[in-house]
Amino acid sequence: MAIITLLEAINQALDQAMEKDQSIVVFGEDAGFEGGVFRVTAGLQKKYGETRVFDTPIAESAIVGSAIGMAMNGLKPVAEIQFDGFIFPGYTDLVTHAARMRNRSRGQFTVPMVLRLPHGGGIRALEHHSEALEVLFASIPGLKVVTPSTPYDAKGLLLAAINDPDPVVFLEPKRIYRAGKQEVPAEMYEIPIGKAKVVKQGTDITVVAWGSIVREVEKAVKLVEAEGISVEIIDLRTIAPVDEETILNSVKKTGRFMVVTEAVKSYGPAAELITMVNEKAFFSLEAAPVRFTGFDITVPLARGEHYHFPQPEKIAAYLRKLAKARP
């Protein structure tokens, strides 16, 4: 085992997958020679050559469209969009072709591609660099959407995504690319897509989060546990399809439910998860579910960015209020 960052875990997964399977190709804007803007793919072009790891023009539609064609013709493309907010020119191809091809061809064709997107904020960047757009992908039938919160999960989820027969959107929380290290097995392993992880057991409140926000929730929980509030933390890991069983079993135990995400509030994933709990575990609830999200605004630029994100102290305030709430 090596102690590595989330960024290094993704690089290791790509390296090992490419070494094992000659059909895997990696590409995107600056993904080849430079190793990507965050250097996630650093060293791969030197090792595997320009035919398997290469740079593309600044043309997201071409990146996604090319990946679809490659996937339908025997390759396993792992395409990178440089920042999540740059996806829109390629969104049409992803939704109208990648997500629909299995259904359109009645199973004759599948699209085994991975679309890697640095996700969310936290790096004080400019416009289009800090969005949390998971709802745009998770609401589309035919797409799977995953996001890791730890180096261990990053490697296992990416290897599972590469081996999946259908298109997977792999959201990489850029805020924690290098924030902390973890022991990660040297060998290849997979984490099943569609399975959440109970990060911490608790009895009073169930909190669901994903990506970089899991760490903020953990910090908040430490604050309220000193006051006697027991919180169960669930890392969603797969945003689509959702692991309903793990969430519902937890809510039936705790009776209180909260979702924390940096995505905007309206029509977002938090609302969907709360609806699911209301529909399937209503009589287990002891208080109305709560969502703590980003604001319904364009993410503020640079130094103002942090005002948009759930902070541990504010998450803790929501938890205290929920713990006291009654039907």
Looking at the annotation, which residues are catalytic?
129
**Burial classification of residue 1, based on how many CB atoms lie within 10 Å of its CB (0-12 exposed, 13-18 middle, 19 or more buried):** exposed
Q: Fill in the amino acid letter for 20.
A: K
Type and span of the H or E element at 218:
helix 213-225
Transcribe 171-194 into DSSP letters: EEEGGGSSS--EEE-SS-----TT
Angle between helix axes 151-162 and 6-20 (nearest 10 degrees) is 30
Beta-carbon contacts of 18 under 8 Å, excluding residues fewer than 6 positions away, are: 24, 26, 44, 48, 52, 53
Q: Look-up: residue for tokens 């995504």?
A: 161
The order of strands in the sheet holding 231-235 is 197-200, 231-235, 205-209, 257-264, 290-294
CB 246 within 8 A of CB 199: no
Residues 6 or more apart in contact with residue 146 via CB below 8 angstroms: 157, 160, 161, 168, 169, 170, 171, 193, 237, 238, 239
**Start-to-end C-alpha separation, the chain:** 48
Token digits of residue 97: 């072709």
Whether residue 142 contacts residue 111, with contact meaning beta carbons closer than 8 Å, is answered with: no
Rounded to whole angstroms, the Cα distance separating 292 from 224 reads 16
